[in-house]
Amino acid sequence: MNVYENNYKNLKSVVLDNRDLRVEIVPAAGARTASILFKSADCELLWQNTGKVHAPVSYAQPFPDGEKAGFDEMFPTINKCLCPDFPWRGVELPDHGEVWAIPWSDEKRTEDVVFSVFGVRLPYRLSKRVRLEGSSIKTVYRVENLSPFPMPFLYAAHPLFNVDKDDRIIVPDNLTSVINAVPSVDLPDYGREYGWTKEFSDMPEKTCDGYRKYYFRQKNTAGWSVLRREKQGFEIKMSVSADKLPWLGIWMNSGGWDSQYNLALEPASAPMDDPVAARAWGNESVLSPCEVREWALDIEISDFSF
């Protein structure tokens, strides 16, 4: 594996490169994974904005004002909300979380790169250690609660994958129903439960108003999920520490949000997009006083036989 600096649009980037993959991460933009090139298929896996200049990056900016591309880290929330607990009760947690829109430090080493950032409105340190192994991206996350108080939080991955019509999501057999987390034209009723059918697993054609966000009702105890690129002939498998990220969200955008056409597999520490909603659904995640927590997230790309 080679590690070197580059420029993604007008911002410094760190590139991890081997025979199978080229991965580009932008420290100044929330350590966003801006690009994943799968070399054997000559295919960019992540949604890209076409502009030559990166969107401005500023703390607590609304997500629609950002780059809206690549793979963001969402912590300690997705939705803007007020922290529910002392001593931060009433503190506003920004849209898409804190860490996607602030600079991270980077430490380039022989076998991996470590990116890290400190919280702004909550006292924590979040880091991720990234390396390549064949056609897999292996990441280990570490979060430290720097306070003597319990800290509610929600972490979720947000990789916006490119898709084609009829690309398909594959999940473990125990995931049999989903809960609507975002009202939309497609799914207007927040909190409504649906059975897991082709309507939810297969990417629809692009429309002017289609998008949906849902969570599986059941915990993903196996820890994996797959996006099968049917026309491209390969699949993207995400595997996580199932005890730390037991909830699986799906963002499926068929053109209704910002005219984008993409899909995100979103393993998360808690469901329903923010710590307050997660608590209301009885499934919150909380860091104990001074707790250090780690989890793994692997992305593996492989060909499949039709």
Contacts of 160 (CB under 8 A, 6+ apart): 46, 47, 68, 69, 70, 71, 251, 260, 262, 263, 264
Residue-level pLDDT at 262: 98
Q: What is the DSSP letter of 63?
A: G
Residue-level pLDDT at 304: 82
H helix runs in the chain, sequence order: 198-201, 275-280
Residue-level pLDDT at 199: 93
Residue-level pLDDT at 303: 92
Amino acid symbol at 202: D
Give me the torsion for CA of 172, 175, 179, 185, rounded to 10°.
50
- Reduced to 3 states (helix: H, G, I; strand: E, B; else coil), residue 65 is helix
C-alpha 97/C-alpha 75 separation (Å) is 5
Amino acid symbol at 176: T
Q: Phi/psi at 193 (nearest 5 deg)?
A: -95, 140
Positive or negative, the Cα torsion across 178, 183, 187, 191? Answer: positive
- Show the low-confidence residues of the chain (pLDDT under 50): 306
Residue-level pLDDT at 305: 61
pTM for this predicted structure: 0.97
